[in-house]
Chains A and B, each alone.
Chain A
Amino acid sequence: MHLSLQQRALAVSLLTATLSLGGAFLAARSIGAIAGSSLKLDAAPLPPAMLVPTQQLVAQGAQFFGQSCGDCHGDDAHGDEGPDLHNIAISDARIAANIKHGVKGEMPSFARKYQDPQIAALVAYVRSLR
């Protein structure tokens, strides 16, 4: 079968594009696996002193929640696209880690927006939801 230059170029282009896209997804899986293992190391509990809830801390957390979390978890935190956060049965450290590092495919990382004291306020607010 004789293919013209145009046809050969088209075939190679489609192949290259497909391989690039496939390569990107394979790279994503590898990177995700590496990130997942490092996440476990990074998810060390925050210092307990930062997680002592006070009224002020809860109020501050509620403010951050309204700014960054309400869109997905609902303004009242009863869930929307994201889950209901009332009476959640995970540790404070895990809540903080989820906020800080995100949940793969589910929730973005807020590490760039919030520092540990602000995350502690968010944890205090989430913990106060009954």
Chain B
Amino acid sequence: MRIDPTLWPRLHGASTHFPVALAMAAALFDGLSVLGFISSSFRARLRAAGCFTIILGALGTFPAVLSGLFMTKGNVLGHDAMLYHHLFVWPAFAGLVGLGTWRALTGEKATPRGFAIYLAILIVTAGLMAGAGYWGGELILNS
């Protein structure tokens, strides 16, 4: 059976935006939840939203990564824009999976210090995801 070679780019395009958007949304929800003027009930809702978005984002990385690997025929680095894309992708992938796992296990039982470290790593990971998305866009435009 011969697979249409355009299947993987299409699947990668279809799947890759979910983890990018969800990582940023999780950083936004959890970032807002630590602001002083937020009421405790709204804070709890923001944390719950942050929890679900990061877990869904972590799950969403797997189809994105797999379709990307099929698209590049297993090339994990490459060069030029592809290299820059991957230099952002791999730490972002590990970060998102780790953060999603931690959040799924701790839920609302995170200590303030633990949550502060989580939030700092989440913001960095969201930035890495944005970088991966930017260089992914450069790949489409320039190749």
Contacts and interface: CB of A to CB of B under 8 A. Distances in A.
Contacts of B80: 71-72, 81, 108
A20 B66 CA distance: 11
Interface stretch (A6-14, A49-57, A58-66): A6-14
A63 B25 CA distance: 43
Given A6-B111, A108-B82, A29 B74 contact: yes
A108 B78 contact: yes
A112 B9 contact: yes
Nearest to A31: B74
Interface in B64-122: 65-66, 69-70, 73-80, 82, 90, 93-95, 97-99, 101-102, 105-106, 109-111, 114
Contacts of A30: 74
A33 B70 CA distance: 11
> How big is the A interface, by class?
35 or more
A102 B69 CA distance: 14
B5 interface: yes
A68 B143 CA distance: 7
B79 A81 contact: yes
A8 B143 CA distance: 45
Interface residues of B, number: 34
A6 B110 contact: yes
A74 B109 CA distance: 57
A106 B73 CA distance: 12
25 contacts: A8-B105, A9-B101, A9-B106, A13-B101, A13-B105, A17-B97, A20-B62, A21-B90, A21-B93, A21-B97, A24-B65, A27-B69, A29-B74, A31-B69, A31-B70, A35-B73, A35-B74, A72-B79, A72-B80, A81-B80, A102-B73, A104-B73, A105-B77, A108-B79, A112-B9
Given A13-B102, A17-B94, A21-B94, 8 more contacts: A13-B98, A17-B97, A20-B93, A21-B90, A24-B90, A27-B69, A28-B76, A104-B73
Interface of B: 5-6, 9, 61-62, 65-66, 69-70, 73-80, 82, 90, 93-95, 97-99, 101-102, 105-106, 109-111, 114, 143
